[in-house]
Chains A and B, each alone.
Chain A
Amino acid sequence: MIDYAGLMTKAAMLRKKLGEDSDSPIDVFALAQRIEGLSLVYYPLGENLSGMCIKGQGENNVVAINSTMTQGRQRFTLAHEFYHLYFDENMVAVCEKNLYSGKDVEKSADLFASYFLMPEAALLIMAKTLIKNSQKQQLTLEDLIHIEQYFGVSHQAIVYRLRFTPYLEQSKADLFFNVFVRSRAEFLGYSSDLYKALPIEKQYMTYGHYIKQAEQLFSKGLISTGKYEQLLLDAFRTDLVYGEEEDGDVID
């Protein structure tokens, strides 16, 4: 049994807890960096997996995101993992890429992610306004692109969510579900970042708590240089161990 209303409440509660208002788009990756004790790992998890969540002791948590998915989908997955982090009693979750399938806890996490990134009231107001402006009965593909760009989520996540509303009938939703929207979005003046994966050099990366922990242990002399480097290399931070081949910092 999926408790839709309960999930909506949970999404609203977590927004509040993390210092977000109740209806604006969220920069979910920036938000993740502010969560105490959370390590965020980007990793190419393959064709079938979208993410993982591993809860440790003392708020020592790890969330991994499949870095080969589009950035819109990665944002959705991160919000999905928040459900496991805050509301799932299992300590480890390995999550499948297919939306709204599998166990109830996975479906719940998908719905939660949808409500968390696109609060119901804000989404419906936007849908109504777009329909009013276009003077059509239903949302068009362009409308959907405007909405996904506004909330920063993947195309499929938007179609899935709106198919349950009067603004997008089932047959249209089925049609729009598998449409490639990248070039359409570009012709509407949007950046196509949402529809692209991360550049290859960023597909293996760890941010957040883990790096701080290693740094702290090393600076207190609790681990050797070798161990420190090993810990960073396990977390794919060759850049911190060997330095980066870049032009250096820019101050502006």
Chain B
Amino acid sequence: MSIELVKQWQDNPDSVTADQIDEALQSMKLLMPTGANQCLYGALSSIKTGSDSNVAVLVQRYEKQV
């Protein structure tokens, strides 16, 4: 699950590889782009590009909508 990967990254960024993030982003496209999933997509994208200060808010928003 992508959310678990994001949370793993929050706990320990070094434990998640760039390939895992890319794979998770690809898998998101198989899901419906609900509000929750768009937040999760944003979190994964933010990790990928290094704008990672947004991740906590996006995870919080995901969990409220899921």
Q: Do A and B come from one complex?
A: no
Name B's A-contacting residues (CB within 8 A): none
